[in-house]
Amino acid sequence: MSLKGQIDTTRLPQHIAIIMDGNGRWARRQGLRRIFGHRQGVEAVHRITETCTALGIRYLTLYAFSTENWNRPKEEVDALMTLLIDTVEKETPTLMKNNVRLATIGDTDRLPSAARSKFTNCIRQTEGNTGLTLILALSYSSRWELTEAVRKAVQQGVAPEAINEEYISGLLTTASYPDPDLLIRTSGELRISNFLLWQLAYAELYFTDTLWPDFGEEDLYAALIDYQKRERRFGKTSEQLSNTSNI
Ligand code: IPE
Ligand code: IPE
Ligand code: MG
C-alpha cells in the first residue's frame, strides 16, 4: 500500500510543528552557496503547506528564522530577509487559492521594514481564510517569548494566586493556537533549538535525516504513520486509555 494509503485520516494531528533544518548542508553538498539551499527550502515549504492543506491539517508552525540566527554572517541574514520578502508576496495567491490563513510568531519588529509590511499585507489578505493556519516563526525563540510573557505579567500586576497554566499560555505568542501534537525536525539534529519549549510539553517528536530541501509529501506521510503508532498517554497508564482495569 502507498504511504498515503496507510494514514488513518480520522487520527491526524491537529497541529504539526517543523524545525526546517539542513538548507545549508544541502547546498554545500552540491558545491553551492548556502542561500541556494534556503531557496530550495522555500519549495519544500510550498509542497508541505499544500500537502497539509490536502490532508485537512488545521495548524502548521514552521521555524523559519530563530533569534540566534541573527548571529549568522550578515551576508546570509540579508539574503534570507530578501528571500522572505520575495516569497511572501509570490506565495500570497497560492495561500488564497488554498484557503490558508497566514500568521507569524516572534520578535517581528526586528525584521526589515519591507519584510514587515509584506507580512502585514499577506496576513490581512488571508485573515478570513478558514482552512490551514500557517504560522511562521520569525525572529522567534522560546526564551524570548517566555521573557516577554513574564514582562507582560508584571505589567498587568497579576496576583500570584491568579497565575496558572492557562494564564501563562495566554501570554505566549501562540495563545490562540492549540499546542503542537507532532514536532518534526529534519537534517538529523536531535535538539529543540529554543523552539516552543512550553508548547511542546506533550508533543510527539519525530527526527529524520532528510535535509529540509529534500523533504516532500512522502516524508510527511512517513512522519504521520510513525505518529499514529505512538500511544499518547499524557501521564496515564495504557489500561486507563483502553478503559480496562488491570492494576
Ligand atoms: C535551516 O537550515 C534554515 C535556517 C536556520 C534559516 P540551516 O541554514 O540551518 O542549514 P544547516 O543546518 O546549516 O545545514
Ligand atoms: C533552528 O535551526 C532554527 C531554524 C530552523 C529556523 P538552526 O540550524 O539555527 O539550529 P542549531 O543552531 O543547529 O541548533
Ligand atoms: Mg541548521
- Give the closest residue (by CA) to ligand 2 atom 8: 21
CB atoms within 10 A of CB 82: 14
Report whether residue 141 contacts ligand 1, using a CB cutoff of 6 Å. no
Ligand 1 pocket member 65 (CB < 6 A): yes
Name the residue at shortest CA distance from atom 7 of ligand 2: 21
Domain extents in the chain: 10-245
Ligand number, closest to the Cα atom of 66: 2
The arithmetic mean of pLDDT across residues 72-84, rounded, is 98
**Grid cell digits, residue 55:** 490532508
The pLDDT value recorded for residue 247 is 62
pLDDT digits 0-9 by tens, 174-225 = 999 999 999 999 999 999 999 999 999 999 999 999 999 999 999 999 999 9
Q: Does residue 244 carry a pLDDT above 90?
A: no
Instruction: Give the CATH fold of the 10-245 domain.
Output: Undecaprenyl pyrophosphate synthetase (3.40.1180)
Question: Using one digit for the tens of pLDDT, what is the confidence trace for 83-112?
Answer: 999 999 999 999 999 999 999 999 999 999
Start-to-end CA distance of the chain, whole Å, equals: 38
Whether the pTM exceeds 0.85: the reply is yes
Ligand 3: centre distance to CA 22 (Å): 5
Ligand 1 proximity of 180 Cβ (cutoff 6 Å)? no
